[in-house]
A and B are shown apart, each in its own frame.
Chain A
Amino acid sequence: MKLQTSARAGWLFVLPALLFYVTFLVVPYALAFGVSFAKWRGVSLQLEFVGLGNFERMFGDPFFWKALYNTAFFTVCTGLIVPVMALYFAVAVTRKLVAGARVFRITYFFPNLISQVAIAVLWWFALNPEFGILSNFLRLLGLTALPSWLGDPDWARWCVVAVKVWAAVGFYMVLYISAIEGIPDDYYDAAKIDGAGEMQSFRHVTFPLLSEMMKVTVVFLLLNGFGTFDLVRIMTDGGPDRATETLATYIYENAFELGKFGYATTIAMSLFIITFSLALLSLYLQRKEAIEY
């Protein structure tokens, strides 16, 4: 059609979006590469080029390593726990192994609709050692020597993991449900005729057909985990004793509380290099041809 070959009109339609996109995404990201090599206190646009100085400093900064370790800890834990739980729920719901599946399907998704800030404050309350529901529940069971949860460095870490899992499972469950519902019934009928029970159908039909989706979501969870900010900032503010500090909260602290903009961006670069490698990994995994039914 004639209209479609008008390059001028085509460009005009794209232009506004391109303008927004270039100004607020492309330019900042491009600048980030430059800034990470500079000493910059943000007073003016004057940058003092320090080459790899920021990186040297970062490698010698014990707080950076701690933040990196914590971030990796949160990411790996959620990356392992969430897919397993979500898959279990999805299979039980779709294979009708549970009564009231529709209700669970809807309610389990609730946490994904709430702001991370609200989730963080809600759990900050629920985990309060005095009036929080967790401590009170355990006291009902007769336990007395209870930890202060978010106030205890070891427990705080696991609390963050638990809340992250709580916040994420529903989303992945719904994703897996839609993937499982896409598997033709014939496959399950055939498995049944061959004498397969529910466990065998899972092992030989559901799991193999879902594995591509699983890999992609695991990588996606990893990417997500490296950006952990809201939950930690509100629930513990990185404490106690930096036990829950993540790269994201450390970047924020350096830039917007200490004014070390150049250094903050250098840490952000390390975050980028890690997530970019993970993204490449995901592309590599997705490269295999999708299974068509």
Chain B
Amino acid sequence: MSLSSTSILERLGEHGRKTITQIIFVVYGVIVVFPMVWLLYTAFKPTSELFASAWSLPVEWKLDNFVEAWSEARIGDFFWNSLFVTISTLLVQLFVGSMASYSLAKYRFRAQGILYYGFLAGMMFPLFLGIVPLFFLVKSLGLLDSHLGLIVVYAAFGIPFTVFVLTAFFRTIPTEIMEAGVMDGCGHFSLYWRIMLPLAKPGLTTVGIFTFISIWNEYILALVLLSSSHLRTMPLGIAVLQFVQFYEVDFGALFAGLVIVMLPTLLCYVILQEQITKGMTVGAVKG
């Protein structure tokens, strides 16, 4: 923070500073929101209109681009692929990760500390370091170019974050509740499944939202692990479409495709805004 600028700002007085701040906020707000709004209404006009006048609203609001994107450009297929991969990853990662977190938080056995920090260490390694060996590993397991392969890899990469958040969460649940469950005759698994897991719901929701957003948007692993066009997820599909439409100089479907890929996470945010902001404090480690 430069101190020389402070004196200039102080001379401006309270009112002047507030006005400047307000202007900066509005301008930056426009820079953030306008490109998205532009994208949204441009998705309703044909490419010829875009070249004729970049700013103007569509002459006629037509769904042609969306229809072309959804069926011809196969964004529809990619949408369902993404949804399937994202939800499957979510289920696998939450189930496997919550069991491990529960054990690390509530059981007592040797090597527990090593396991916990071992899991967390996964957040420290850059993805690109392991990407070549990972590619050949997945290939040798016969999982290359399959949704299953992508799902297990996504779930594995999500485990450090899941363990980090959920272990902390399970620790806050009093052990007395478990004792009551044992009185009622619960075994190891039913104690976890019927008593602890429902209590961990807020933690699961936090991890779930962040996982949903990051998997829905993931590009690098999908690019490396998938090659067949019918298996593509949304980000892959958009990237390929950009390449194709660039040469055809016809961007209608691409604009529509962008709107389709952006909507689910934006809607998710608008609905779950409080939850996401609260989760940020625990999720601070993940970009």
Interface segment among A5-13, A54-62, A150-158: the answer is A5-13
A17 touches B100 (CB 8 A): yes
The answer to whether A97 and B21 touch (CB under 8 A), given A9-B188, A110-B266, is yes
Set of chain A residues within 8 Å of B35, measured between Cβ atoms: 122-123, 126, 133
A115 touches B99 (CB 8 A): no
A268 touches B129 (CB 8 A): yes
Tell me if B60 counts as interface (CB < 8 A to partner A). no
B235 touches A107 (CB 8 A): no
Set of chain B residues within 8 Å of A17, measured between Cβ atoms: 96-97, 99-100, 119, 159, 163
B156 touches A23 (CB 8 A): yes
B22 touches A98 (CB 8 A): yes
CB distance from A263 to the nearest CB of B (A): 10
Tell me if A241 counts as interface (CB < 8 A to partner B). no
Which residues of A line the B interface, CB within 8 A? 1-7, 9-14, 16-18, 20-21, 23-25, 27-29, 31-32, 35, 42, 45, 89, 92, 97-100, 103-104, 106-111, 113-118, 121-126, 130-133, 136, 166, 168, 170-171, 174-175, 178, 197-199, 203, 207, 220, 223-224, 226-227, 229-230, 233-234, 247-248, 251-252, 255-256, 261, 264-265, 268-269, 271-272, 275-276, 279
Which residues of B line the A interface, CB within 8 A? 1, 6, 9-10, 14, 17-18, 21-22, 25, 28-29, 31-36, 38-39, 50-51, 54-55, 96-97, 99-100, 102-104, 106-110, 112, 115, 118-119, 122, 124-138, 140, 152-153, 155-157, 159-160, 163, 175, 178-179, 182, 188, 191-192, 213, 216-220, 224, 234-236, 238-239, 242, 251, 254-255, 258, 261-262, 265-266, 268-269, 273, 277, 280-281, 284-285, 287
Please list 14 pairs of residues, one from A and one from B, whose beta carbons are closer than 8 Å in the complex, sorted by A's number.
Answer: A13-B107, A23-B137, A24-B134, A31-B130, A89-B28, A98-B21, A106-B273, A110-B269, A115-B238, A117-B238, A117-B261, A171-B280, A174-B277, A230-B235
